[in-house]
Amino acid sequence: MKQTFDLTVNGQRRQLTTEPDTTLLHVLRNDLGLKGTRFGCGMGLCGACFVLLDGRPAPSCDIPMWSAAGKEVTTVEGLADGDKLHPLQEAFLAEQAAQCGYCISGILVSAAALLAENPHPDEREVAAALDRNLCRCGAQGRIIRAVLRAAEGGV
């Protein structure tokens, strides 16, 4: 039976009517048209679907709407401020950190959570924060450099 859920997505209050067990990922992509968050493994293990849920990285493929209700959701689209990219997005472009790009939206939101908590991480802290995000292209070195560049303000 469908229910109505309230949540905030990228700063906007939203009211959505859906089945309680519908995943947050499905709602973001199919109901709200936010295609930046990707489906990866479907089990919350790869990080491609990560969003910020109340400021913490969370697998949207594994979160039912009943659990997301009343929370603040930030997708990769919500990192930018209008037309102004987030410093992480600018650093990822400058470092050419994305190869195929499939994992990058989840990595960006995980990195944003890290920098919100620790604005000046070292390489080890960045690697640990991104440990749950899988990148099959081997771009981890560029990704870590991009996060460190954003932290230093060197975009």
Q: Using the 8-state DSSP alphabet, how is residue 2 labeled?
A: -
Mean pLDDT of the chain: 96
Cβ distance 25 to 61 under 8 Å?
A: yes
What domains are there in the chain, each with its CATH number?
3-78 (3.10.20.30), 87-152 (1.10.150.120)
pLDDT for 117 equals: 97
Render the burial of 37-47: b for 16+ CB within 10 Å, e for the rest.
bbebeeebebb
Residue 38 banded pLDDT, cuts 50, 70, 90? very high
pLDDT for 70 equals: 97
Q: What integer is the mean pLDDT of 41-49?
A: 95
Cβ distance 98 to 82 under 8 Å?
A: no
Other CB atoms within 10 Å distance of the CB of residue 57: 22
Cβ distance 70 to 18 under 8 Å?
A: no
What are the tokens at 126?
């960045």
pLDDT for 147 equals: 98
C-alpha count within 13 angstroms, C-beta hemisphere, residue 118: 14
Which residues are 81's β-sheet partners?
Answer: 84
Cβ distance 10 to 77 under 8 Å?
A: yes
Residue 155 banded pLDDT, cuts 50, 70, 90? low
pLDDT tens track for 10-21: 999 999 999 999
pLDDT for 154 equals: 64
Global pTM value: 0.94
Residue 140 banded pLDDT, cuts 50, 70, 90? very high
Q: Angle at CA 143, nearest 5°, toward 46 and 62?
A: 20
Q: Using the 8-state DSSP alphabet, how is residue 64 labeled?
A: B
Residue 107 banded pLDDT, cuts 50, 70, 90? very high
Kindly state the percentage of the chain with pLDDT values over 90. Answer: 95
pLDDT for 47 equals: 96
The C-alpha atoms of residue 19 and residue 22 are separated, in whole angstroms, by 5
pLDDT for 96 equals: 96
